[in-house]
Amino acid sequence: MHARDTVPGDTVPGLASRQLAWQVLQAVAAGAYADAALERELASLARAGGGLSPADRGLATEIAYGAIRQRRLLDGWIDALGKVSALRQPPALRWLLHVGLYQLLFSDRVPAAAAVSTTVALAKRVGLGRLAPVVNGMLRSLLRRRELQPCHEPWDGLPLPADAAAALALRRSLPPWLSAELLGWLPPERAEAFALACNAVPALDLRANRLRTSRDELLARFTAAGVAARALPGAPHGLTLLERVGDPRELPGYAEGLWCVQDRSAQAIAPLLEAQPGQRILDACAAPGGKSTHLAELIGDRGEVWALDRSEARLRRLDRNAERLGLTCIRSLALDATALAEAKPHWRGSFDRVLLDAPCSGLGTLARHPDARWRITPDAIAGLVTLQRQLLEALLPLLAPGGRFVYATCTVEPRENGTLIHGLLQAHPGWSLLQERQWWPEPPEAERGGGDGFYAAVLQAPT
C-alpha cells in the first residue's frame, strides 16, 4: 500500500503530521538528508492538496528531527520492550515505533493517549494494520514501566550499560565511537554538556547588515512587528530570535537586505581576518556565503572578495544573497580550491587575506543537522584530514608576504583542528600562529546560550 492511500483513520486529528514525520524517517534511513527530506515531503503533500497548518507542520518537524536525533535511545527502548531488537525490526515498523516513542518520551505538547492512538492509527493507515497490536502493546508497556518509578529523564526505567562511554551514548543518543572520543577530549561534565547541546533545538541567529542598518534598528523593527529577539553578546551585529518562526524570509527586513541568517559562532570567524577596505580577499570554500558576505560588509563593500566553491549551484545561491544584501565587491568562481594555484598562477602571492572554512566532519553542528551524527565515521574523518591538509598546502602560496590566513572548521575533532595546524606549522617554519580558538557547542541554558562548535586558527605569512 502506498503511504498516502486512505484507509479508516484518516480523520484522526494530527495523523497527517505523524505520517509525514514517519516518511522523513524512512527517507533519512535510506540516505536522504533530513532537511531535504522534510522539504520534499512537505512540498509533495502541498501539491496533493493536503498542506499542513503551521501548527501541524511544526509538530511534524519536531517529531521527525527529534526522532532522528534520539535514534539510539529510541532503539534502546525497542530493545528493552520488544521481543525483536530494533535492528531486526522491519524498517517501516521501527520508524513508526520511533514516532510514537519520541512523543511519549520527549513531547510536552502531545498527551500520552494521543501519542498512542495516533501511532496505532498510522500503522493501520500505512499498511501495517496487522502489527497495530504490537505498536499499541509496546507503547503502553513503556507507559506502565515508567509509572512504576519516578521518571525525570527519557532513559529512566531503561537498563544502562556499566561502561561510561556506552551509557553516555545510550542516554544522549550518540554514536558509541563519538561518545568514547568525547570522554577522552573532555571531563565528564563537559562531555555531558556537549551531548545536551547536540540534542537541543538550535536557535535562529541573524546578522544585521551593517551597511544598511544597525542591530538596534533591526531589533526595533522586530519588536514593532511582534517578533521576539535579543542582541547576542560578543557578536556586534548579531541577534537571536526567542521564538520559533515559520519561513524566516517573511521576517521584517529580509527583502530589503537588512540581515542574513548566520550562527553566532560563525559570526566570529570573518572578523579574525582583520580585513581592511580596498584589500583583496579569498574565501576559498565559500558557499553558501555567510562569511563572504560578512567580509564584504566588514570592508564596507570596498575591495575584492573572491568567493570560491566547487558547486556552481551553491555559488548561485551566494550571488543571490549578495545581491539582496546590496554587496557588489564579491566575485564568485566555481573551481576546486586545490587546483586554484595551478589554474590561476598569476594569483600567487596576490591576496591580502585568505579564509579557508574547510570541509569537515561538522561535529560542532549536530544540533543543526540531526542526521549528521549517524553519517560520520572515524574513517571518513581520516579522509577529511587529508583533504584539509591538501587545501592548506594549495592555498598558502596565494597569500601575500605578511598576509593573514584564517583556517576554520565547524568541528571539535582535534585531528581536523589543532593537530592539523600544528603539523602544518612544523612543515612551514616561516609561518606564525597568531591566535587559536575552539568554540564548543553549549546547551541553550549555558552562559553563552547555545551556538555551534567552531575552530579557528589565525596564521601569518612570512614577510
C-alpha cell recorded at residue 245:
518562526
Written as one letter, the residue type at 21 is A
Q: Which member of 260, 285, 360, 410 is catalytic?
A: 410
Q: What phi and psi values does residue 404 have, to the nearest 5 degrees?
A: -110, 135
Q: Which residue has cell 591580502?
A: 352
Instruction: Report how far apart, in Å, the C-alpha atoms of 438 and of each of 106, 246, 270, 280, 453 are.
Output: 31, 32, 15, 27, 7
Question: Cell 553578546 appears where?
Answer: 233
The one-character DSSP state at 76 is H
Q: How far apart are CA 347 and CA 156, in angstroms?
A: 60
Cell triple for 268: 566570529
Closest CA to 96 of 76, 61, 72, 125: 125
Q: For this structure, is 410 an active site residue?
A: yes
- 278 conformational bin, left if phi > 0, alpha if psi -120 to 50, beta if neither: left
Cell numbers for 69, please give them.
536525533
**Phi-psi group of 443: left, alpha or beta (phi > 0 → left; psi -120 to 50 → alpha; rest → beta):** beta
Report which DSSP code applies to 149: S
SS (H, E, C) 6-46: CCCCCCCCCHHHHHHHHHHHHHHHCCCCHHHHHHHHHHHHH
The phi, psi pair for 104, rounded to 5°, reads -65, -35
3-state secondary structure of 373: helix
CB 287, CB 317: distance < 8 Å: yes
From first CA to last CA, the distance across the chain in angstroms is: 69
d(CA 433, CA 406): 10
The Cα–Cα gap between 21 and 102 comes to 11
Q: Name the CA radius of gyration of the chain, rounded.
A: 24
The DSSP code for 309 is E
Output the nine-digit C-alpha cell for 29: 534511513
Question: Mind telling me the catalytic residues?
Answer: 410
